[in-house]
Amino acid sequence: MAKFAVIGGNASKDLAKRIARRLKSPYMETQTKVFPDGESKITFRRIPKKSIILVVQSTYPPVDTNLLQALTIISQARKVSSKIYAIIPYMGYARQDKQFLSGEAVTMSIVAKMLQAAGAKKVIVVDIHSKTALNHFKIPTESVSAIPELAKYFKKLKLKNPLVVSPDMGGSLRAKKFASLLNTDFVTLKKSRNRKTGKVWIQSSKVDVHERDLIVVDDIISTGGSVIRATQFLKRQKCKRVFVACTHGLFIGDAERKIKKAGVSQIISTNTIPRSTSKVDVSGVIAESIQ
Ligand code: R5P
């Protein structure tokens, strides 16, 4: 008998079904209606009485709606099981994990409190922006990595002597891991962001990328500003093609078009956020972390 039951929220139905298949566990879909005023109503057919219930819901935009839906499902599931694992493959608000400017609220700490209050006993995320975000939880947490899966995808492209690039210092270890999986080297750019306007620029002066295919790796692509500035900088250094890999492709507005316009040959993301670029499936790494 399966130990788990998987419930898929509106934002992550396909991924939830895949996780259920991998765990050979029953999947239960929720019906979600969003009213004209923005309120959500979630209807459950039946919540299977399993010892552990996995609630899968990413909190990409509309972030607050998807978050509240996750909280509703968790608290409803809590009525039939005391062990609810919240699988939030993309954790919105993770970048608001500390106070950067005086007076700022640390919203990630509120999100952590709400998930715990709703009844989550464990939280599993994919490639959290920084460990600090998970430190706000008092329950066990785990961030599983999509980097091996992304690297597998790029291995199949058989690029000749590719170079992995991190657009900023914060992503350096990620790029190092990606590069080691591809048996190649990596470089880290120096990026600056104006915390008030959000504008980004590359501070690095020169890197040796001449005639090499590049893979720019990031955790999140939101407006696309970081990878666009990195690509423009790298193109000026006379590289060959630029590929972009990220775990969470938010692609706000027409970010995807702007990234392509900057000269990127291909953008690859995972299905933590379902997009046309989501060619890499993270259900395997999530299921492995649970078994
Ligand atoms: C920042 O440190 C993150 O790792 C990403 O580089 C950033 O969130 C991407 O945002 P955008 O696409 O808006 O530049």
CATH of the domain at 125: 3.40.50.2020
Instruction: Establish whether residue 109 lines the binding site of ligand 1, counting it when its CB lies within 6 angstroms of any ligand atom.
Output: no
The rounded Cα 22 to chain-centroid distance in angstroms is: 20
Is residue 119, in this structure, part of any structural domain at all?
yes
Q: Where is pLDDT greater, at 193 or 48?
A: 193
User: Model-level pTM greater than 0.85?
Assistant: yes
- Please tell me the distance between residue 222's alpha carbon and the centre of ligand 1 in angstroms: 6
Same structural domain, 96 and 151: no
The verdict on the CB of residue 130 being under 6 Å from ligand 1 is: no
Q: Which atom of ligand 1 is nearest to the CA of 167?
A: 6
138/8 same-domain check: yes
Residue 189 shares a structural domain with residue 227 = yes
- The whole-number average pLDDT for the span 232-261 is 97
Is pLDDT above 80 for 87?
yes
pLDDT in the model for residue 50: 78
Nearest Cα to Cα of residue 217 among 163, 254, 157, 275: 163
Take residue 220 and report the two structure tokens written for it: 């999140």
Q: How far apart are CA 130 and CA 114, in angstroms?
A: 19
Within-domain flag for 246 = yes
> Is 141 in the same domain as 175?
no
Q: What is the model's pLDDT at position 96?
A: 97
Ligand 1 centroid, distance to 137 Cα (angstroms) = 23
Q: Which domain holds residue 196?
A: 147-271
Does 19 fall in a domain? yes
Beta-carbon contacts of residue 31 (< 8 Å; ≥ 6 apart): 42, 43, 44, 45
Residue 190: per-residue pLDDT: 93
Sorted by sequence, the CB contacts under 8 Å of residue 267 that are 6+ apart come out as 221, 243, 244, 246, 249, 256, 259, 260, 277
For residue 57, tell me if it sits in a domain: yes
Structure tokens, 156: 């199949």
Residues 117 and 155 in one domain: no
What pLDDT, on a 0 to 100 scale, did the predictor assign at position 75?
97
Find out whether 245 and 215 touch, Cβ atoms under 8 Å.
yes
Q: Residues 116, 222: one domain?
A: no
Question: Quick one: average pLDDT of 251-272?
Answer: 98
Please report whether residue 276 resides in a domain: no
Residue 75 to residues 17, 39, 110: CA-CA distances in angstroms? 20, 17, 17
62 and 125 together in one domain: yes
Tell me the CA distances in angstroms from 144 to 111, 114, 141, 229, one per residue in order. Answer: 19, 22, 10, 28
Same domain? For 266 and 160 the reply is yes
> Which of the pair, 66 or 48, is modelled with greater confidence?
66
> What's the total number of domains in the chain?
2
Quickly state the pLDDT bin for 2 (edges 50, 70, 90): confident
Mean pLDDT of 4-23: 97
Query: Do residue 233 and residue 164 come from a single domain?
Result: yes
pLDDT of residue 237: 93
pLDDT of 1:
66
Residue 160 has pLDDT above 80, yes or no: yes
Q: Are residues 115 and 199 in the same domain?
A: no
For residue 83, how many other CB atoms are within 10 A of its CB?
A: 17
Alpha carbon of 198 to ligand 1 centroid (Å): 10
